[in-house]
Amino acid sequence: MKAIPKQPPEGDASKMGSTWRYGAKLVQGVPEERQELADHVVDGLFLLEEAFGKYSKGKGFFLGDRIGFIDIAFGSLLGWLRVTEKAGEVKLLDEGKTPGLVKWAESFCADAAVKSVMPETEKLIEFSKLLMAKMKGAPPKN
């Protein structure tokens, strides 16, 4: 496995890009590295937490009372974030570290427009196993 730098290159956009790269490695990585990788993901989530606090102005979504483009963009990753938490055996969205995002995720998933289309974590896990097996050319493990 390639060594992961302690700090991603400077800049918020660079940190966010690193967040998702670390998330993928967290699921596939060895257990001893999981907490360090999870810490990198949480660093990126802190940026989202700050943005949520700044732009939501105490309301339920990034730009107010209704779901907007930013909510949809981040919300589309929520299912995979939960897969990463479960498969990597770590907690990424944590009430103590990112309380605004935890509350936002609950509000987002409870919205009628989202509730009917948000995939179940277990189904995404099964789908990810199929994808991984296909990429490796082997049958999926159950």
Q: Assess if residue 4 is contained within a domain.
A: no
Quote the pLDDT of residue 8: 44
Q: Assess if residue 110 is contained within a domain.
A: yes
Quote the pLDDT of residue 70: 94
Report the 10 Å Cβ neighbour count for 37: 23
Please answer whether residues 93 and 81 qualify as being in contact, where contact means their C-beta atoms are separated by less than 8 angstroms.
yes
Q: Assess if residue 61 is contained within a domain.
A: yes
Quote the pLDDT of residue 131: 84
Instruction: Give the CATH number of the domain where residue 86 resides.
Output: 1.20.1050.10
Quote the pLDDT of residue 35: 80
Q: Assess if residue 7 is contained within a domain.
A: no
Q: Assess if residue 88 is contained within a domain.
A: yes
39-98 confidence digits (pLDDT tens) = 888 888 999 999 999 999 999 999 999 999 999 999 999 999 999 889 888 899 999 999
Mean pLDDT of the chain, nearest integer: 81
Q: Assess if residue 112 is contained within a domain.
A: yes
23-42 confidence digits (pLDDT tens) = 556 666 667 777 888 888 88
For range 103-111, the mean pLDDT: 96
List the domain range (segments joined by +) for residue 124. Answer: 12-134
Quote the pLDDT of residue 141: 65
Q: Assess if residue 142 is contained within a domain.
A: no
For residue 64, report the phi and psi dihedrals to the nearest 5 degrees: 135, -140
- Give the number of domains in the chain: 1
Q: Assess if residue 48 is contained within a domain.
A: yes
